[in-house]
Structure formats: structure tokens, C-alpha cells
Amino acid sequence: LIFRLDAQLYDLLTNEATVLTASRHLAHALRQEYAQQAQLQGLRVWPTPKILPWPTYLRNACQKLRNQQARPPRLLSELQAVALWQRIIASSDTGQGLLNAAQAARNAQRSWQRLHQYLIPLPAVAAYPSEEAQAFTQWAQRFITETQQHQWLDSARFSDYLHRHHFQPDTPLALVGFDQITADMQRLLRDWQQRGATVLQPQGFSRAAQARTVAVGNSDSELRLAASWARQQLESGRTRIAVVVPKLAAQAAQVQRRFTEVFAPAQRCIDEPATPTAFHVVATPTLSSYPLVHHALLLLELLQGRADMLLVGQLLRSPYLEGYEAEAAARALADVVARKERREQWDCNELQRFAETQHCEQLAACMLATGNYLREHKNTALPSQWTARFTQLLKLSGWSRGRALNSSEQQTLNKFQQTVAELSALDELLGKVSLSTAVSTLRAACNAASFAPEGLDQAVTVIDIDSVAGMQFDALWVMGLHAGDWPPAPEPDPFVPLELQLEYALPDASAEHCLKLAQQQLRRLVNCADEVILSWPQHDDDAELRASPLLATWPVVESTMLAQASARSFSQQLFATRPTLESLMDDRAPPQAPGAAKGGSRILELQSRCAFRAQAELRLHASAMSTVSVAVEATERGDLVHRVLTEVWQQLKDSEGLRAFVLTDTQSAVGLKPDLQAIVQSIAQRIAQQVIPGITLYRRRLASLEAQLCVEWIMALLQVEAQRLPFRVQAAEQGEPYELSGMKIKIKLDRVDELADGGKLLIDYKTGDSNHSRDWLDKTPGRPRSPQLPLYALAHPQQLAGICFAIMAPGVAEFRGLADTDSIAPGIVDYAQQKPLAKLAGIETWDELLRHWTVVLNDLAQQYLSGAAQVNPLPGECKFCHLHGLCRVHELAQDTMDGEVESDDA
């Protein structure tokens, strides 16, 4: 129990007063407290106290009022109001061009509520010529017309309805936990008081608490410290403890995880059954954010035949689909296969056929039954008919039968079923609708519905800053009070003109109001507990944060002074109870015969970067899973640029061919004729359709955009090439075998140029700015980060003049290379002329460098053949490697273990 009901409030309630609260949570807490006090007074039964959140009271009052009227209006539910806004916006001229009409409907509905809360007349908005104000006015007028025609009343106008019809409360009222009273609320309260009603605002407890402030490393360590502190408070005998987390709904999962680590570490174990913990996270995320509901909505998207691979991957891994426990492994493998196939669009028939080939029989059977039912029931229908159809479709698809649901999931299931059933109330509003409209209406309803499974009232409450208003505690911790977030930045309404928002004093509209509210909330928080800690994170990734200036009045305490709770994290417990281990040096795979090793230059690159990775990836095939993305993959981009450049140079042939397209040539820049751009453009558009194939409009547009980007980059590079001394393209994309220490390696040069003096320049195209010629030199002795071009240099020793990258990236088009002269092209430098720090120690000339590479690369080849597999990454390598779990690199250094393991957990 978290609110200390004072005697005044308890007396008011026993005397039939109605207590109105600012939040649902506060109403719940007060009801619990009232029950406890009644029991303490020896009562066994008592009348239910009248404790209601303000919006519920208004709805009840409207209901009471309409019972007294001859032609009362019908009260719209929130779902009905959202559906009406959505229909109005989707059918309006301005709504047609919107990317996300559903989101626009939610925003418009919120603006409509604000107009009424702050008594802003709609004509005042209409007087502003901005597009947003005009669009909103048009939608609002349509909303008014429709609701008037049908005698509907939405919740935004409840207060106005009660005011106009002189509603009078029949009990005294007490307001609790309101940080701000809106203008429509003030008007109603004034009406009631003028007509003789009693309206009280009890002050509640006010402590002379001494707050302290503390700086903590980052928001994650802040969360851990707050959880440890809360546990310590509990161990010291306190029973009402709260941790206030700003924007709690958005990070509820992370908060739950960190508190579980501290309060019930064993529950991190997969097989451990969930048991009640001493803390309760009071968050009300939207219904659609719960995985169970999210997967139901994904299934309904699949039925429309517009599912992409991201969606299908989630369904294949879903624990909520029938047969999950028996087919989890087969479905995981199916996901791997599907990622490689990269099919663009799926429907349930497609998924059924695919599941059959992947030995997922139960999934296939569910999809078959769903597809058969859908074929007969996909015509337009009333929302009430869609309610029945969705219920049947989800049943046939096996949703919610993958594994036994726990109590929270069961409550989520009930709430979702209730939301599906509420669609029936939309028949009159929407008429017959298609499958896709029905699904998007259901999705909007799930997005609009806030929901939290009921938790037990626990000693420790984790709560957000708005819901905590009016509650009292023994000890309180408020997190996240850094200058960037506290006071919060203004968030003006998108549809109501800013001048009006300032004139009518909307709280989010100006920095001044935000500051005032933040000061008021902070004052209230430090007065609601005996001990208060106010904390702020010092870093957000690389960005440094500062304490909120509002904390300046309170003394600072070091985070180390806030003693840690006795609980150890799960990873610490596991480590502490580890068995005594035998030491075994196992850093060598079986050797290979030179002829058995197959591959390209990547063998040497991986062996140089990390020996373990080379053996694991190339011999054990421990490759990374393909990623699924709606964007163009880096390999597709590289392939496109390479192929276009090859064709372009087949046409141009040499520097003379390129210079034929030079328009202007000054000392600093070369302009190229539009004809050349047209040639590159037509090649790029054609090849892009092959490299990035697609049947959807989205994918075809993506290919076209990528072709444009490719043209831009290539034209920029050609401008640089036009400034070079004469050359001829001798070979492009030419594969050839090469032997190193007896190992056969396939190499493929992007391009070989023959220079005027007969010298050869080897060019490697790179579509990224992170490639540098220094990566060809040893990072540590005998280990260059990128030995690919040095290898090509060894394969082409005759008249080799130099090697270079041709870099194409946003804002960058240049050569980066090393050579035996500095006259080949800008960016290709004479190795011998490099500054000492840019050279390898003891290697002064280009010829010496080539000899050094011969030794280094042969050595790397021999290491690979001998099976050398030490976990010895070059600095920074592990950041881009997927094998942490296999090589266990984090366990090499004992002192890094806890941090690394815990960050993996995250």
C-alpha cells in the first residue's frame, strides 16, 4: 500500500463524499488504503468508497444526466471516437496525402480534447491560415456535423455537456493528486461551488524531508543503483518505497529486467517459474505493445498478403503460435532459410507451403486452415462480422496456443479479446468495411488502449511522474533529472496555432510553463517521503549530460555512499558458484593440407584480424545469420557500383575516352558533359533492377533511388579520374588463381590500369569511407588489417606501380593508395616519401614493402594451414564480429567479466 490516507480523507469517504483522483493508479491505491483502514477499525464489511478518476466521474455524470433527458445523446466510447476521426481524415482531401492517417487521427483527437480542456473556440483556430490549422478545422467541423446528426457525444465534450445542462453533484467532492487543473475543469468546479456543492482539495501529508542529489554514470547504472537502494530500504524495514522513472511506459521492459535482477536474481534463469516479487512496475503501455497482441496483429497483416520478411521472421520465432514447443528448432532454421531467400511478400498460403518444406507441419496445418477459411470470408462486412471472423481466423491460425500463458499473458489475452469484441460497436459508424480497414481499425484500437495487467500491491513501486501525484511514501527515488530532460522541453500541439496555445496557457506550449510545472512537481515529490534521492545520469552514450539546474538547492551525495543491497546479480551468482575448472590450452585446429584449403583473400584477412575467427568462420562455417532489412544491403550496393563501373569502362576504355566527355577543365575541378551522365544513368538503372530485384512498388522505387545514388558517386569519381595522367584500363573484374605457401587462393581484381610508362595500378572499389591505405600496414607485427590489396600486389609483381582504393561514399570520391611514385593520381602517394610515422619501422622503400608483404602473407597462410586458432583479435575487431558467444573473448580478462556478461544480458 502506497498512499497514506489521512484522517480527513477517510472521514470524507465514510461520510459519502466522492474522491476524484488525477490518475487511475491513485484511485486504486486509495481504495486499497481505505479497505485497510476499515479493517484496522474492526469492520468486516463496509460500503464501497466513492473513489474515481476524473474522466470516469465525468462519464458517470453524463450517464446520470442523460437518464433525465427526453432525447439524450449517445455517449461514444474512445474506440468509436477514434474510428470516427480516422474515417473523417481518411476520406478528406488533406487526409489522402498523409503517410499515416491513423496517427494523424490520434493527433487530431488529442488536439480536439485540448481545445475543450482549455476552452479554445474552434473559430479562433480557423482564423489562422496555416495548413495544419485549416486541415484540423475542416476535420473538426465534419466531426461536429456528424456527431450532431446522430446525437453522439464524445469524451472531449463531457465537461461542456455537464456545464450546459447545469449538472449538480449529489455528494461533496474532494480532489486529490492534481498538479494542474484545466480550464474546463475549473469552470465546472466553479459552477458546482456557486450552486452550493462542497469541493475540497485536501493537502495530504507534507514532510520536512531532506532530499539529496546523486550523479550516476548512465541511465542503466542509475536504474541498477535505484533498484539496489530500494532493496536496501526494504531490508531495513521500510514498507512504502517508490522509484519514479520518467517515460516509464517506453522503458518498462528494461526497468522490469533490472529490478528482477536485484530483487529476484534467480528468475533470470529460463526454467525458473515466475513468482511474486517485492516490487511492482506501474506502467500502462499500449495494448499493441504486448508481444501476444503484437503477434496477433502480425497474423492479421499476413492474411492481407502484404507481409514482408521481417514480419514472417517474427511469426516463425513466435512462442504464441501452436506447435511452437515441438517445432521451435525447425522454425528457427526455417527463419534462417527465409532470410537467405529474401522473398518480398508473403501471405498465409505462401507461409503454409514454405512451412511444409521446412518440416514445420503444425504451422503448415494452421496456415492451411486459416487460408481456407479466409477464402470464404474476405468480402466486405460490418465490423461486428469482422469481430467474429477475426476470432475464428486467430483460432485457426493457432494463435495463443504455442505454450501455456502466464497470468499476465492471460489478462492480456482477455483484454485483447474484449477489444476485438468492441469492434462490434462500430457498425453504425463505419458500415461495411474491407479486411484491410478492419485490421487497421483493430490496430488503432490496440494502439489507443492503455493496459497493464493487475499486479499485487507490493512494498516497492516503480511508477512514472504523472501517476505518482498525490501518493505518500517512506522513501522515494526520482531518476533521470538531467538538464536535457528536466524541465521537459515544450511539446506544442501540432494542429493548434502556437499563439493560441500561449494565449490559453497550454502547459506543454512554452518553456516557461514547462519550467513552472517541473518546479511544482519536484516540490511535491520531495515533500511526499521521509527520505528522497534525486538522481541524474552523467552520460548518454558519448554525450555528456549535466544535472538539472532545479536540483541546485539540495545537497549532493556520492553514489558510493548509497550502500548497495546485499543481493548479487544472477551473473555474479553464477560466477561465484562456478566449479573448479581445469585449464586446457586449446588454440589450434587440426592442420590442413595446402590443397584442402579453399577460398579467397578473406582467408588471410580473417587470419590476420583474429585467428580464431578465421578457423571458426571458414572451417566450421560459423557464419552470421543473414540480416533482414527493408533497406538496400551493403553487398547489393557494392555489387551495383562494381558492375556499373565495369560497363562504363568497357565503353570509355581509357583516359582519352573519358576526356572526350570533359566540358570544363580548371585547376581545381573538371566538369563532365551531361551525355556521360546519361550513359552512366542508363547502365545504372538497368543493372539496379537486376541487383535489387523486386515485385513490389517499394522495392522498385528503392532500386531506382539506389541507381541515382550510384550515378552520383560514379560521376564524382570520374571527375577525379579525368584529372589523372594518361592510362588505359587493362582488365576489370577479372578472376584468377594464385598460390601462396602451397595454398590455392582465388583473387578477383576490380580493375588494373596500365599507365603511360607501362606501369600497373591495381584498383579496388570501395563504397564506404572507412577504408584507408594504412590498413595494409601491420597493425601489430605481421598483422595488417586488410591484406587483400597487398595480396593482389604479390600476384602482379611485373611492373607494379602501385595499389589503391577508389573510395565512393557520401561527400567523398577519391583515391587512397601507395606506390613507387607520387605522380599517378591525387591521393596515391609515394611510400618512400611518407613521414616516418606513416611507414613500417625499418621498411623505407616500395620494394622493401613488397618484400615485407611477401613474408607477412606467406606467414599468415601457413598459420591458417597449421590450424592456428588463438583468440587474438586486433584492437576493435570484436565490435564487428558475431562470434562472442563461441570464442568467449570476454572471459579472457577476469576483471572485465561482470561488466561484459551483464552487457550481453542486456
Closest separation between CB of residue 76 and ligand SF4, Å? 57
Q: Does 877 bind ligand SF4 (CB under 6 A)?
A: yes
Radius of gyration of the chain (CA): 34
Q: Which region, judged by CB under 6 A, interacts with ligand SF4, from 308-316, 333-341, 498-506, 606-614?
A: 606-614
Stretch of 399-407, 726-734, 805-813, 879-887 contacting ligand SF4, by CB under 6 A: 879-887
Residue pair 703/689 in contact (Cβ under 8 Å)? The answer is yes
**Within 10 Å of residue 866's Cβ, how many Cβ atoms?**
13
Cβ proximity to ligand SF4, 462 vs 878, nearer residue: 878
Least CB distance from residue 618 to ligand SF4, whole Å?
Answer: 12
The stretch near ligand SF4 (CB under 6 A) out of 401-409, 451-459, 608-616, 763-771 is 608-616
| Nearer Cβ to ligand SF4 (422/617) | 617
User: Quick check: 319 and 398 in contact, CB under 8 A?
Assistant: no
How do strand 210-218 and strand 279-282 relate by DSSP bridges? unpaired
Shortest separation between residue 592's beta carbon and ligand SF4, angstroms: 19
Give the residue with the Cβ less far from ligand SF4, 321 or 610.
610
> According to CB under 6 A, which one of 320, 473, 612, 765 is a site residue for ligand SF4?
612
Count CB neighbours of 199 within 10 A. 15
Q: Does 873 bind ligand SF4 (CB under 6 A)?
A: yes
- Reported as type and span, the H/E element at residue 313 is helix 309-316
Q: Output 717 or 878, the one with its CB closest to ligand SF4.
A: 878
Separation CA 861–CA 594 (nearest Å): 9
Nearer to ligand SF4, 511 or 892 (CB): 892
Question: Does 884 participate in binding ligand SF4 (rule CB under 6 A)?
Answer: yes
User: CA-to-CA distance for 718 and 806, rounded, in angstroms?
Assistant: 10
Query: Is residue 761 a contact residue for ligand SF4 (CB under 6 A)?
Result: no
With respect to ligand SF4, which residue has the nearer C-beta, 363 or 878?
878
Minimal CA–CA distance to 204: which of 2, 466, 469, 6?
Answer: 6
Q: What is d(CA 780, CA 611) in angstroms, rounded to the nearest whole number?
A: 13
Site for ligand SF4 in 712-741 (CB under 6 A): none
Coil, helix or strand at residue 686? helix
The alpha helices in 762-896, defined as continuous H runs, are 788-795, 846-866, 884-887
CB-CB neighbours of 682 under 10 Å: 13
Cβ distance to ligand SF4 smaller for residue 813 or 887: 887
**Closest CB to ligand SF4 among residues 693, 885:** 885
- Does position 887 interact with ligand SF4 (CB under 6 A)? The reply is yes
CA distances from 64 to 60, 165, 169 (A): 6, 12, 10
3-state secondary structure of 843: coil
Task: Mention every residue, 6+ apart, whose C-beta is less than 8 A from residue 783.
Answer: 608, 609, 856, 860, 874
Q: How far is the CB of 621 from ligand SF4 (least distance, A)?
A: 14
Shortest spacing between CB 883 and ligand SF4, in angstroms: 4
Q: Which is nearer to ligand SF4, 569 or 601 (CB)?
A: 601
Which cell numbers in the block locate residue 275?
A: 513468482
Tell me how far apart the alpha carbons of residues 553 and 550 are, in angstroms, rounded to a whole number: 7
Residue 888 CB, nearest distance to ligand SF4 (Å)?
8
CB of 864 to ligand SF4, least distance (A): 14
Q: Nearer to ligand SF4 by C-beta: 508 or 778?
A: 778
Contact in structure between 697 and 706 (CB atoms under 8 Å): no
| Span from 307-315, 485-493, 502-510, 875-883 in contact with ligand SF4 (CB under 6 A) | 875-883
The answer to whether residues 646 and 733 touch, using CB atoms and an 8 Å cutoff, is yes
Contacts of 354 (CB under 8 A, 6+ apart): 334, 338, 346
- What is the rounded CA–CA span in Å between residue 863 and residue 607? 8
Query: Which of these segments, 261-269, 337-345, 375-383, 877-885, binds ligand SF4 (CB under 6 A)?
Result: 877-885
**Rounded to whole angstroms, how far apart are CA atoms 383 and 612?**
59
Q: Which positions from 564 to 603 touch ligand SF4 by CB under 6 A, shown as an x/- string?
A: ----------------------------------------
> Toward ligand SF4, which CB reaches closer, 44 or 879?
879
Does residue 614 belong to the site contacting ligand SF4 (CB under 6 A)? no
Give the CA count within 13 Å in the CB-facing half-sphere of 779.
18
135 binds ligand SF4, rule: CB under 6 A: no
Q: Which of 610, 791, 807, 861 binds ligand SF4 (CB under 6 A)?
A: 610
- CA 612 – CA 610 distance, rounded (Å): 6
In this chain, which of 613, 637, 783, 852 binds ligand SF4, going by CB under 6 A?
Answer: 613
> Per rule CB under 6 A, is residue 619 in the interface with ligand SF4?
no
**Cα end-to-end distance, the chain, whole Å:** 31
Cβ of residue 904: shortest distance to ligand SF4, in angstroms?
A: 12
Instruction: Please report how close the Cβ of residue 887 comes to ligand SF4 at its closest, in angstroms.
Output: 3
- Give residue for cell 464524445: 154
Among 79, 262, 793, 881, indicate the residue that binds ligand SF4 (CB under 6 A).
Answer: 881
Q: What distance in Å separates the CA atoms of residue 282 and residue 471, rounded to the nearest whole number?
A: 13
- CA 682 from centroid of its chain's CA atoms: 38
The one segment of 126-134, 587-595, 636-644, 880-888 that binds ligand SF4 by CB under 6 A: 880-888
From the DSSP assignment, how many helices (H) and strands (E) are in the chain? 34, 23
Smallest distance, ligand SF4 to C-beta of residue 613, A: 4
368 vs 883, beta carbon nearer ligand SF4 = 883
The three three-digit cell numbers of residue 31, written as one number: 481504495
Q: Which is nearer to ligand SF4, 95 or 873 (CB)?
A: 873
Residue (192 or 612) nearer to ligand SF4, CB: 612
H/E/C letters for each residue in 394-408? HHHCCECCCCCCCHH
Amino acid sitting at position 815: F
Binding residues among 833-872 for ligand SF4 as defined by CB under 6 A: 871
Is there binding between residue 889 and ligand SF4 (CB under 6 A)?
yes
Q: Which is nearer to ligand SF4, 686 or 884 (CB)?
A: 884
Nearer to ligand SF4, 87 or 613 (CB): 613
Q: Which stretch binds ligand SF4 (CB under 6 A): 85-93, 273-281, 605-613, 861-869?
A: 605-613
The amino acid that residue 606 corresponds to is L
**Of 21-29, 77-85, 573-581, 607-615, which part binds ligand SF4 (CB under 6 A)?**
607-615
Contacts within 8 Å (CB) and 24+ apart, 855-860: 856/778, 856/782, 856/783, 856/784, 856/787, 856/790, 857/604, 857/740, 857/787, 857/790, 857/791, 857/794, 858/740, 858/741, 859/782, 860/604, 860/607, 860/608, 860/782, 860/783, 860/787
* 386 contributes a contact to ligand SF4 by CB under 6 A: no
Of 339 and 609, nearer to ligand SF4 (C-beta) is 609
Residue (392 or 870) nearer to ligand SF4, CB: 870
Rounded to a whole number of angstroms, the minimum distance from the CB of residue 546 to ligand SF4 is: 36
Give me the least distance between CB of 877 and ligand SF4, in Å please.
4
364 binds ligand SF4 (CB under 6 A): no
Residues contacting ligand SF4: total by CB under 6 A: 12
**Residue 739 dihedral angles phi and psi, to the nearest 5°:** -120, 130
Give me the residues that bind ligand SF4 (CB under 6 A), please. 610, 612-613, 871, 873, 877-878, 881, 883-884, 887, 889
